[in-house]
């Protein structure tokens, strides 16, 4: 089969993408080194906790004495260098896991201090939205934020001077979200965690780790973060987890979170697994490789648009702390064409045409392309953009690099950028 005939890629576009690919071999080798390290880390955790066939057995009802659930928590805790973990399908999204952690730890009179701009829109809605009921604000928990400096750098002096007697949590979001900035790296997290704890060791350093797992050789909870949460349908689920989220960190804090998700006293002791543990654990096992593939896809798309003169962040050679590639396009029409090209090259719903819509939790219309096997999966290939200037599209995921390469060709063909 000639690929230019199947998807009507012109020969110049194919050659352009392959030239871009050849220029990235050094960068890809660096990413492969990280993936190999993290694969060893995951394998060591599986072996340490003696994962066995019996741990995949489905439980029902209350789920008492669920060995699989317990060993999954232990494996996650070991991988993240944490004291404890709470890995559950009963988390419906990354936002649900994050907000559970906020409500689990914060009490009336406490302050949450966000130091990486505002949290992601769906999390921010749970903090103080006037349109919602039962927010942190409704429970007497206050919120302040310290914006990042230009270039996405934590404003450390302002953060340290802003800490008040009632500051209970310093909140960081690793991923860029829809901000024009770089993702927050583990080294930066280690530095601010150390300095905050020098002022008050009781402050909880919380990390929204969505899109950040296995991007580096260390995780935030290995370098000073107290509590962290994320989604199983992003990096760490490896494309196999069907739903769920996780919270990892200090044992006392994870226990508080479990009692928020469940009920006081019972906490982590119940919760049937509904036969989902095999998918979660197998997905975790391949997650370093799948994340590596998604990273290569992002780097390739970024390099292609870089060569065409578009602003992209991060650049192809920059260190990365999430899997997202932002491309600043020139118009609403280019955003639509980009997203429709991603949808068309997807394995599921490839015949669907994405349009912008009023998505719950967002202030503007959002267009999303996601032909995924798991609804909302961000480790599978997707693209999205708020339909406002500067018309930046956010591309992420892809379970195989080959799929990402096809997508790069289809996107450039739709936009007619290679002459």
pLDDT in tens, the chain (419 residues): 566 666 778 899 999 999 999 999 999 999 999 999 999 999 999 999 999 999 999 999 999 999 999 999 999 999 999 999 999 999 999 999 999 999 999 999 999 999 999 999 899 999 998 888 999 999 999 999 999 999 899 999 999 999 999 999 999 999 998 888 889 999 999 999 999 999 999 999 999 999 999 999 999 999 999 999 999 999 999 999 999 999 999 999 999 999 999 999 999 999 998 889 999 999 999 999 999 999 999 999 999 999 999 999 999 999 999 999 999 998 999 999 999 999 999 999 999 999 999 877 677 899 999 999 999 999 999 999 999 988 999 999 999 999 999 999 999 999 998 88
Long-range Cβ contact pairs of 260-266 (< 8 A, separation 24 or more): 260/100, 260/101, 260/103, 260/104, 261/86, 261/88, 261/90, 261/91, 261/100, 261/104
**Structure confidence by residue, pLDDT tens digits, 234-253:** 999 999 999 999 999 999 99
Q: What whole-number distance in Å separates Cα of residue 179 and Cα of residue 120?
A: 9
Report all structural domains of the chain as residue ranges with CATH numbers, in order of start.
3-39+288-415 (3.90.1150.60), 40-284 (3.40.640.10)
**Structure confidence by residue, pLDDT tens digits, 123-152:** 999 999 888 899 999 999 999 999 999 989
Encoding tokens for residue 328?
A: 């600043």
**Interhelix angle 401-415/11-22, nearest 10 degrees:** 130
Those residues whose C-beta lies under 8 Å from the C-beta of residue 140, and which sit 6 or more positions away, are 108, 109
Tokens 């949808």 sit on residue: 343
**Structure confidence by residue, pLDDT tens digits, 7-31:** 778 899 999 999 999 999 999 999 9
């Amino acid at each position: 089969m000639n690929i230019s005939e199947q998807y009507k890629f012109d020969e110049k576009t194919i050659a352009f993408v392959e030239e871009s690919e050849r220029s990235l071999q050094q960068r890809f080798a660096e990413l492969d080194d990280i993936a190999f390290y993290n694969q060893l880390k995951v394998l060591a955790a599986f072996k340490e906790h003696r994962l066995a066939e019996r741990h995949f057995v489905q439980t029902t009802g209350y789920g008492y004495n669920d060995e699989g659930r317990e060993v999954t928590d232990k494996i996650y805790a070991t991988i993240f260098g944490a004291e404890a973990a709470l890995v559950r399908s009963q988390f419906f999204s990354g936002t649900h896991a994050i907000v559970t952690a906020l409500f689990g730890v914060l009490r009336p009179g406490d302050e949450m201090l966000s130091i990486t701009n505002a949290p992601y829109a769906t999390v921010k809605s749970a903090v103080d939205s006037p349109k919602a009921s039962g927010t942190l604000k409704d429970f007497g928990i206050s919120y302040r934020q310290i914006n990042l400096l230009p270039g996405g750098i934590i404003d450390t002096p302002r953060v340290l001077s802003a800490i008040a007697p009632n500051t209970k949590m310093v909140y960081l979001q690793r991923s860029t979200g829809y901000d024009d900035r770089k993702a927050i790296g583990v080294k930066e997290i280690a530095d601010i965690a150390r300095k905050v704890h020098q002022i008050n060791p009781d402050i909880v350093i919380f990390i929204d780790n969505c899109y950040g797992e296995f991007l580096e050789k260390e995780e935030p909870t290995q370098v000073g973060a107290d509590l962290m949460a994320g989604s199983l349908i992003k990096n760490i689920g490896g494309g196999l987890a069907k739903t769920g989220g996780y919270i990892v960190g200090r044992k006392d804090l994870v226990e508080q979170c479990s009692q928020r998700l469940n009920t006081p006293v019972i906490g982590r002791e119940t919760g049937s697994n509904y036969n989902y543990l095999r998918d979660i654990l197998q997905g975790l096992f391949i997650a370093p490789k799948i994340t590596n593939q998604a990273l290569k896809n992002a780097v390739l798309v970024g390099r292609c648009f870089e060569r065409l003169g578009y602003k992209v962040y991060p650049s192809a050679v920059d260190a990365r702390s999430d899997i997202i590639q932002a491309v600043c396009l020139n118009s609403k029409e280019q955003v639509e064409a980009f997203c429709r090209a991603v949808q068309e090259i997807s394995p599921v719903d490839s015949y669907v045409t994405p349009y912008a819509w009023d998505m719950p939790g967002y202030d503007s219309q959002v267009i999303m392309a996601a032909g995924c096997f798991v609804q909302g999966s961000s480790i599978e290939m997707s693209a999205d953009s708020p339909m406002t200037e500067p018309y930046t599209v956010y591309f992420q995921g892809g379970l195989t690099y080959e799929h990402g390469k096809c997508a790069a060709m289809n996107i450039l063909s739709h936009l007619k950028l290679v002459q």
